[in-house]
Amino acid sequence: MTVTTRFAPSPTGHLHVGNIRAALHNWLWARKSGGRFLLRLDDTDLERSSVAYADSIKGDLAWLGLHWDGEEKQSDRFALYEAQFAALKATGRVYPAYETAQELDLRRKILLGRGLPPVYDRAALSLTADQIAAYEAEGRSPHWRFRLDHDRPIVWTDLIRGEQRFDPRLLSDPVVRRSDGSWLYLLPSVIDDIDMGISHVLRGEDHVSNTATQIQMFEALGAPVPSFAHEALLTGAEGKLSKRLGSLGVAHFREAGLEPMAIASLLARLGSSQPIEPFADMTPLVESFDFAHFGRAPARFDEGELAALNQKIVHLLPYEAVADRLPEGMDEAAWNAIRPNLQTVAGAADWWRIVTGPIDAPQLDPEDRDFLNAARDILAEATFDADVWRSLTITLKDSTGRKGKALFLPLRRALTGLDHGPDMAQLLPLIGKAEAIRRLSV
């Protein structure tokens, strides 16, 4: 069996961090198994779906490095749904129901008031031909429900949650088609998974009850049931479900200057027993991905942790990986000098401006002026090579008696305008002799 996974977003909005995690895990499992990762756009909601959102989703996946091996759109597959729906209707596994939303809501409230589960009572199965004719004479069109088999429990071994068991008598027969003929999520998804050869369905734990009903749909259509894995949902840093997680997407991460691998490094292992580490490429994440590492405890997403991880990854990036994103004129030596001080690659531009100037003249203590002028004179006579900072500071220490902060800080302030930054031994050669002498002239 070829392992085949799928990511099935609805193009009615942008991807958020929870979507990204699901896509990543499906991609990782397919790549580890030597299988296929498919993209399916669940665009049956024709009014809310848009090409712009679909393009945004595909652009986000590409930026994250999650390239897919095939693509489908549900809006192209309506004929297939009709054919399978007709087959289920012929065997009595789908049936029409005429209750209005208000009538169903009232029934649910009555059941809840009696302390009973609000399960649909299958009243539609008892309708006579005359009752159906009367409803249709009123102008009612039926919605359609999938008839669950009540004779045996629904059981499967979830790859994350272990054995799952549902009593179908405690589940409502799910509505699979609205009265206007449009499709709800459950049945088309099953039909697509069968047709696309999906072997593993990996998604959030909020779909567990959907899986129970969908398993019977696979069986009713005579198809093998895929393996299922349901992940714990993400929580915010405050320890509870956060609405903010629904607004954090690729655009937010890109604007913050985050690397795709920082996002992948965090989300690949979030909620697992494996350590979260900075990785510069996907290979170790693919090799180590395993459902057995994931538990049922909520997975805590922390933007601060992501930023720290990003900083570590930036410090791992070679010049070749970032050259096309660096300011003009910034070479490998400059990248290596500046990189240890960066939180994002974009921050290199700020440090490069320190190198190329002009810089804001620092406020100097009066006693530092003679010291800096002495530094200027020494530098004017020095050989300006890779060892120039060391020779300058040694000479100044011997001639002035200064050491430590009193020696180094005035020089850094005069040369960079800042109290901190990259190693001056690497930075000074980048600034250049003529510019350094000019900055030391006070």
Q: Which domains does the chain have, with CATH numbers?
A: 4-71+186-234 (3.40.50.620), 80-177 (3.90.800.10), 319-356 (no CATH), 366-440 (1.10.10.350)
What contacts 22, CB < 8 A, 6 or more positions away? 7, 202, 203, 204, 231
Residue 294: its pLDDT value, please? 96
Which helix or strand (DSSP H or E) is residue 145 part of?
Answer: strand 143-146
How confident is the chain (442 residues) per 10-residue block, as mean pLDDT? 95 94 98 98 92 97 98 97 98 97 94 93 96 95 97 97 97 97 96 98 96 98 98 81 76 94 97 95 97 92 94 96 96 95 96 92 86 95 94 95 95 94 94 95 84
Distance CA 76, CA 71 (A): 11
Q: Are 176 and 187 in contact (CB under 8 A)?
A: yes
Helices (H) and strands (E) in the chain, counts: 19, 12
Give the side-chain half-sphere CA count within 13 A for 163: 3
Distance CA 396, CA 372 (A): 10
Distance CA 327, CA 313 (A): 20
Residue 230: CB atoms within 10 A of its CB come to: 22
The DSSP bridge pattern shows strands 234-235 and 227-231 to be unpaired
Q: Helix, strand, coil shares of the chain as percentages rounded to 5? A: 50, 10, 35
63 vs 67, 94, 289, CA distance in Å?
9, 42, 21
Residue 192 corresponds to which amino acid?
D
What contacts 102, CB < 8 A, 6 or more positions away? none
**pTM beyond cutoff 0.85:** yes
Q: Look at residues 191, 195, 287 and name the one whose alpha carbon lies nearest to residue 4.
A: 195
DSSP 30-67: HHHTT-EEEEEE----TTT--HHHHHHHHHHHHHTT--
Backbone dihedral region of 174: left (phi > 0), alpha (psi from -120 to 50 degrees) or beta? beta
The secondary structure of 157-185, three-state, reads EECCCEEEEECHHHCCCCEEECCCCCECC
84 vs 79, 213, 222, CA distance in Å?
9, 16, 11
Continuous H helices in 143-248:
186-195, 208-220
Residue 119 phi, psi dihedral angles, 5° rounding: -95, 135
Backbone dihedral region of 401: left (phi > 0), alpha (psi from -120 to 50 degrees) or beta? left
* End-to-end Cα, the chain, rounded Å: 75
What contacts 211, CB < 8 A, 6 or more positions away? 156, 164, 201, 228, 230
Strand partners, 175: 145
- CB-based contacts of 399-404 (< 8 A; 24+ apart in sequence): 399/374, 400/371, 400/374, 402/371
User: If you count them, how many residues does the chain have?
Assistant: 442
> Is position 58 annotated in a ligand binding site?
no
Distance CA 223, CA 191 (A): 9
Q: Are 310 and 328 in contact (CB under 8 A)?
A: no
